[in-house]
Amino acid sequence: MLTWIRALAVAMGRYSRIPMPGFGWNEKDMQYHMMFFPWVGGVISLCSLGGYFGLKTFLPGLSSFVVASLLTVIPLMITGGFHLDGFLDVQDARNSFQSREKKLEILKDPHIGSFAVISLAIYGLLWMGGLVELLETKEFWALGGFFLSYPFVRAIAGILAIVGKKARTSGMLVEEVNQTPRVVLVVLGCTILAIVLGECVFLSPMVILFEILLILCFIWYYNRMCKREFGGVSGDTSGYFVVQLELLLLWLFFLSTRMCS
């Protein structure tokens, strides 16, 4: 039990800005910490849900744009933009049209280039546009699906990071998933199943079907892109996966409200 508590602290410390007690991490802590990756998404979901209801209760006259702005800032404050940084690095590397070795070097570069800035602007517009429209629908079933996407996406990303071919033989991701016990994959799989079953309570079977198909298609695209561009997955590509799939699911739930209306 102590090992799992320490692994939870490691996960929260690595993937969020949530203060955790300081202690020396050991190899066993690192082996189990990935199973708690979705818990970071769970914290984001709870804080976003609380922020949404708080604004609607105490400041009911606020525009959807202001509410959407808060719901956008909350994940960034909790994670520190951890995954967004990986997304920007991947966009810079992919648009450099250099060799695979050069692209891997760009992923490690702490600076961002023009392609990252352009990608961030496009992503921000698509995110805010989709979120404002989703809030305007006032369909809580769609909002519920959106809030659940945070732990959902991280559970999937955790599995792909563990089982996927690595772009490098060393690095942050290799250190994180090195010799990961099978129980971690089982827990992440059970987390995915639990979220899908939870969605069955308030989402229609058609929406869930579209959601599953969208996720499977994006996983196929992601794996193919990583192998072609970088030779495998890395910490940065995992961040890219989280950020992109969150956007796709946001638009899925927003468009679902239009199809169901």
Please tell me the predicted confidence (pLDDT) of residue 1. 63
pLDDT given for residue 144 in this prediction: 94
Full residue range of the structural domain in which residue 218 is found = 2-8+33-253
Q: Residues 13, 166: contact at Cβ < 8 Å? A: no
Decide which of 21 and 69 is more confident: 69
Number of folded domains in the chain?
1
Q: What contacts 186, CB < 8 A, 6 or more positions away?
A: none
Q: How confident is the model at residue 244 (pLDDT cuts 50, 70, 90)?
A: very high
The Cα–Cα gap between 11 and 19 comes to 11
Rounded Cα gap, residues 30 and 91, in angstroms: 28
Which pLDDT belongs to residue 19? 84
Tokens of 156: 């999937």
What distance in Å separates the CA atoms of residue 107 and residue 238, rounded to the nearest whole number?
12
On whether residue 27 sits in a domain, the answer given is: no
Residue of 46, 244, 252, 36 lying closest to 134 (CA atoms): 252
**Looking at the domain assignment, is residue 90 inside a domain?**
yes
In a domain, 22, yes or no: no
- Pick 32 or 125 by higher pLDDT: 125
Residue 138 located in a structural domain: yes
Is the residue at 178 inside a domain? yes
d(CA 190, CA 15): 21
Length of the chain: 261
The answer to whether residue 226 is domain-embedded is yes
User: Cβ(113)–Cβ(92) under 8 Å?
Assistant: yes
pLDDT interval class at 8 (50, 70, 90): confident
- Residue 29: per-residue pLDDT: 66
Domain assignment present for 24: no
Residue 42 lies in a domain: yes
| Mean pLDDT to the nearest integer, 194-203 | 94
**Strand, coil or helix: what is 233?**
strand
Alpha-carbon dihedral of residues 92, 95, 101, 105, nearest 10 degrees? -10
Taking the C-alpha atoms of residue 36 and residue 21, their distance in angstroms, rounded to an integer, is 16
Assessment of whether the complete model's pTM goes beyond 0.85: yes
Q: Which residue has the tokens 């959601």?
A: 211
Nearest-angstrom CA–CA distance, 245 and 255: 15
